[in-house]
Structure 1
């Protein structure tokens, strides 16, 4: 067992749980942050099902907006995995409600890490901070970690996309000025699928849930870069451990699937389920988004395929992501087993 201590924010989330389990399996001591300690027992019980090292995790209550608490929590910490970020299922009326906590929470953690001699902070950002706010010419090219979303382009961004971009940009700005020796690495996942461990699931799992529960009659012509949650957790740990990851950004994607592709994978393995196969005309997708608010944020991807180079993490960190099919099918299997879909 190593004696390294990792502070992990947002431990109760979809990605937070998987990352905690993998860290514990590697022998780390994990301190997981929760907005409310009442959930600690339930979270520990889930973790115990997946690792024999659950005795090495403890929980603390912390709010991203609080400043003082982070100075206490980062004492004697070697690494920070900053995963917590507001990602509501319904967009707030004021986008500042998303942007401000994402930005200030990130800066609160970095300031405390710098003051307390933490070696490296790994921030879970998003592919959203690379591939939006683009002109038509820019959309024709393949994007990579050197590209940034233009958050001032309101036509090709949403409040969530702007919040992830602004938070990550503010983190890099902080590191450029910091003189403590603190290292930063950011990981930028696409839509995260894979096995759900509890019924408080990640937002991306809705893609699979809505295709399997009969609530989606037809498919919008929209696609995503997708990655398995276990592969993201693996990349977060590589980004934390490996010297070559210092002060780098890494895209996490296994590839691109449309709603139609995902539905076809699900239908092949669940022939008895009523899974849609027909695509919706664009005008109906736009009309539907007035009733299904989950569609609103993804309308900017209607008929647009954003091309991404995913080779950096594979080449530099020897990352081997699980397949797209595994990400989709393991998500479907878990939501069925947990009774999220009947």
Structure 2
């Protein structure tokens, strides 16, 4: 059994994908906790941006932040990236900017990237990898509403969008690898739903783009969709806890507020909290009939139609009990997402 000493200073913690929305928060949280951090980017063109974001976030990285090049699609650079690290936080994941032509464009890099990171970690004596999976790997196969916990799995054989399928396939592959050839390596997995919360730079996630679209009036009406919300800072915090908590090894953790929010509910929170600045947020929710009618011609509504009537509830008791983790209120997360967009001048008038 390993001794789990969380003390900073024992080699850098490797974060994959440190230039992304979640990755930048993970880097910030580690620096604030006193760790040395090494992070991978696909291209070193992004290195200065990563350092600038860390400095602006207030952690004062100084010499404690190292940026290296490694791409999930290639073996190159991973041995150097993990060298000397006791912990690896695998955050990077391909998220398509457009619907891919084939699902393999997303599924294959997600799966192979996770396996590359695990293999390099095992071969170079890393103690534990924390993989960021998603609620997409947990709760997309049972029809109807319902409560979900860590024993639930999305079946990749179901009719799913490529992104959702990629999360289920990649996480399954990670656990299968550990069972067959993980050796001394430990794995913990966290499964957040839609991630919202303040942005640290111009890298916006699909969830944050939704808030931006609401504030700009690009969504005059919204479908009646329900989902859980995770605060990006809470997801980063859960990763740090899962990294060093002895009881987290070999476990997956649902990370979310534990209550379902709707797009319309989110719009109301923005209206009530921001007053005039939220003048353009959608005031009307489509009826289920309108969604079904629109789905005949609009691909975006087709996905909404398939989720009608689903009100997913995430059971987060395990993360609370094992990791000592607590989520922020959804209202705080939504309003602070908006405030950060205004502060960085990212909302078009």
TM-score under structure 1 length normalisation: 0.93
Task: Report the CA distance shift for 1:256/1:140 in structure 2 as closer, same or farther (over 3 A).
Answer: closer
Cα deviation, residue 30, structure 1 = 0.8
Paired residues for 1:153-302 under 5 Å: 153-154=158-159, 157-178=160-181, 180-254=183-257, 255-272=259-276, 273-285=279-291, 297-302=303-308
Cα deviation, residue 282, structure 1 = 3.5
Task: Report the CA distance shift for 1:335/1:33 in structure 2 as closer, same or farther (over 3 A).
Answer: same
Q: Is the 8 A contact 1:90 1:294 kept in 2?
A: no
1-structure distance, mates of 2:98, 2:69: 25
1-structure distance, mates of 2:294, 2:199: 27
Q: Is the 8 A contact 1:64 1:104 kept in 2?
A: yes
Task: Report the CA distance shift for 1:199/1:296 in structure 2 as closer, same or farther (over 3 A).
Answer: farther
Equivalent in 155, 160, 177 of residue 150 of structure 1: 155
Task: Report the CA distance shift for 1:54/1:117 in structure 2 as closer, same or farther (over 3 A).
Answer: same
Cα deviation, residue 82, structure 1 = 0.4
2-structure distance, mates of 1:27, 1:127: 30
Q: Is the 8 A contact 1:8 1:32 kept in 2?
A: yes
2-structure distance, mates of 1:182, 1:47: 29
Moved more, 35-44 or 281-290: 281-290
Match of residue 3 from structure 1? 10
Task: Report the CA distance shift for 1:159/1:287 in structure 2 as closer, same or farther (over 3 A).
Answer: farther
Match of residue 103 from structure 1? 111
2-structure distance, mates of 1:181, 1:298: 43
How many aligned positions are there?
A: 337
Runs of at least 5 residues in structure 1 that lack an aligned partner in the other structure: none
2-structure distance, mates of 1:132, 1:158: 10
Q: Is the 8 A contact 1:24 1:54 kept in 2?
A: no
Task: Report the CA distance shift for 1:9/1:261 in structure 2 as closer, same or farther (over 3 A).
Answer: same
Moved more, 51-60 or 213-222: 51-60
Equivalent in 133, 137, 142 of residue 125 of structure 1: 133
Task: Report the CA distance shift for 1:29/1:87 in structure 2 as closer, same or farther (over 3 A).
Answer: same
Deviation track 1:71-130 (CA, whole Å, cap 9, x = no partner) reads 232221111100000112321011100000000000111111111110000000000100
Secondary structure of residue in 2 paired with 1:307: strand
Secondary structure of residue in 1 paired with 2:147: coil
2-structure distance, mates of 1:317, 1:249: 11
2-structure distance, mates of 1:301, 1:126: 17
Runs of at least 5 residues in structure 2 that lack an aligned partner in the other structure: 1-7
Cα deviation, residue 226, structure 1 = 0.2
Q: Is the 8 A contact 1:89 1:294 kept in 2?
A: no
Deviation track 1:162-193 (CA, whole Å, cap 9, x = no partner) reads 10000000000000012521000000011000
Equivalent in 45, 51, 56 of residue 64 of structure 2: 56
Cα deviation, residue 326, structure 1 = 1.0
1-structure distance, mates of 2:297, 2:217: 16
Return structure 1 stretches of 4+ with deviation > 4 angstroms: 286-299
Secondary structure of residue in 1 paired with 2:275: coil
CA RMSD, 1 decimal: 1.8
1-structure distance, mates of 2:66, 2:93: 20
